Amino acid sequence: DAGVIQSPRHEVTEMGQEVTLRCKPISGHNSLFWYRQTMMRGLELLIYFNNNVPIDDSGMPEDRFSAKMPNASFSTLKIQPSEPRDSAVYFCASSFGQRDNYGYTFGSGTRLTVV
Amino acid sequence: GENVEQHPSTLSVQEGDSAVIKCTYSDSASNYFPWYKQELGKRPQLIIDIRSNVGEKKDQRIAVTLNKTAKHFSLHITETQPEDSAVYFCAGPNTGNQFYFGTGTSLTVIP
C-alpha cells in the first residue's frame, strides 16, 4: 500500500487566491482526518469524516475553509480566499475502525505558504 | 489538545540515558492511547500504543505505561540514541473517532 497520499507537497500562493489540498486515504480505511500544524498551535484537528460523511467540523477556523469527501478514496480541503495566517503544514490522516481501535496513518503533508 | 496535557515540552538527555514523557487526559471513557514520533520535516508516525486492558506495553527500547486511576500514560525510551531525537506526541480520543494531540515534547539526545 502506498500509504496516505497528499498533493501537492508544497504550495505557495498569493493572498486572496483559492487553494485546494488533496488527499487519498489508505484503501479500506473508513475514517479520514484533516489536521493543521503550526509552531504556535501544534497539531489542530480541522475536520474528520467517517464513511465519507463529515462528523465533526468544529475545528474548521472559519467559513473560508471547506472540506469534501465525494468518495472513499478522495478528499479535498479548500481555502477561499487564502490569507497569510493560513500558512502551515496541512496533514491528512486515515484510520480503520471506530473509537479506540486504531491509530492514524498520516500523509506526508502539504506545506502551504500564503504571501 | 483540549483533553490531553503533555509534559515536558522539551527534554535533553545524554546518549544512553532514559527519557520519559507523560500525558494526562480527562475523558474517563478513553481506552486507547497512542504515541507518535515526528522527525523534522516529516509526518507524525505511530510508534506505540496501549489499550486500557493492560498497564504496560514494550517494543524494544520503547515502552508505554498506563495508569487509568490517575488518568495518565507515559512514554519511556531506554538507551537513547541520537536518532531518537524528534518531537513526540501523545493523543487522546474525544467523544467521537477523532484524536486530539498533546502539545508535543521535543526530545534531544546529546551524543
The answer to whether A4 and A92 are in contact (CB under 8 A) is: yes
pLDDT at A101: 60
pLDDT at B26: 84
Higher pLDDT, A68 or B71: A68
Confidence band for B1, pLDDT divided at 50, 70 and 90:
very low
Higher pLDDT, A56 or A106: A106
Mean pLDDT, range B30-42, rounded to an integer = 91
pLDDT at A64: 95
- Our measurement of the distance from residue B99's CA atom to the centroid of its chain's CA atoms, rounded to an integer in Å, reads 13
Closest A-chain CA to B29: A100
To the nearest whole number, what is the mean pLDDT of chain A? Answer: 92
Kindly state the percentage of chain A with pLDDT values over 90.
77
Quick one: cell of B90? Answer: 501523545
User: Is the pLDDT reported for residue A100 higher than 70?
Assistant: no
CA distances from B91 to A70, B79, B99 (A): 28, 24, 6
pLDDT digits (tens, 9 = 90+) for B22-35: 999 887 777 888 99
> Rounded CA gap, A1 and A106, in Å?
13
Contact B98 A108 (CB under 8 A): no
Option in A33, A107, A109 nearest B98 (CB): A33
CB contacts under 8 A, A 73-112 vs B, are 91, 95, 98-101, 103-109
Kindly state the percentage of chain A with pLDDT values over 70.
95
